Amino acid sequence: MTQRVELATVMDRLALDGLVTEYAVAVDDGDWEAYRGLFTANGRADYRSAGGIEGDAGRVADWLDRTLRLFPMRQHLIMNRRVRFDLLAHDVGDTARVRADYVNPMRFETGDGDPAEPDFVCGGRYAFAFLRTDEGWRLREVIVEEKWRRMPRHRGQEAGT
């Protein structure tokens, strides 16, 4: 590879990393306009493994808006990002995939405005698919593969009961 190609690859990796971070911040902050703006016009998201829905980014953003109101505190931690640029015969490097693990602590709303204790926590892996557009890299697809979750026990409930 030439230095120019290597520099372009580094810049693309940084852009993809930034987009994954923007995704997490949009979800955690409930910024559904920003969430929608991360996707291509036909971008899709699939949250079925976590008990959610699959569909176009706008529909999924509406569902997330309604569902995540139960959790006034959310904090995605996305790590172990593995970036792959697709180099198919018809592709000149304008598509990419990122697989990344996540841990997502969230705090339930009690109904009286105070956050509940303890937290609901889940973890798993994201599969992000990207497309380079005239506006820069955008998400074509997000698939959530939830692998585990820990639900809070009710007050007074002991372990194993």
What does each C-alpha distance from 140 to 6, 40, 129 come to in angstroms? Answer: 24, 6, 5
**Domains in the chain: ranges and CATH:** 3-150 (3.10.450.50)
pLDDT digits (tens, 9 = 90+) for 63-76: 999 999 988 899 99
Fill in the amino acid letter for 112. Answer: D
| Rounded-to-integer distance, Cα 70 and Cα 68, Å | 5
Q: Report the pLDDT value the prediction gives residue 149, as an integer from 0 to 100.
A: 95
The label of the residue with tokens 């109101």 reads 69
Question: Rounded to two decimals, what is the model's pTM?
Answer: 0.87
The label of the residue with tokens 């969230």 reads 106
Ranges assigned E (strand) in 8-135: 39-46, 54-56, 73-74, 77-85, 95-107, 120-133
Contact 8, 1 (CB under 8 A): no
Q: Give the three-class secondary structure for 67.
A: helix
Q: Report the pLDDT value the prediction gives residue 72, as an integer from 0 to 100.
A: 87
Positions in the chain whose pLDDT score sits under 50: 89, 159-161
Q: Report the pLDDT value the prediction gives residue 8, as an integer from 0 to 100.
A: 85
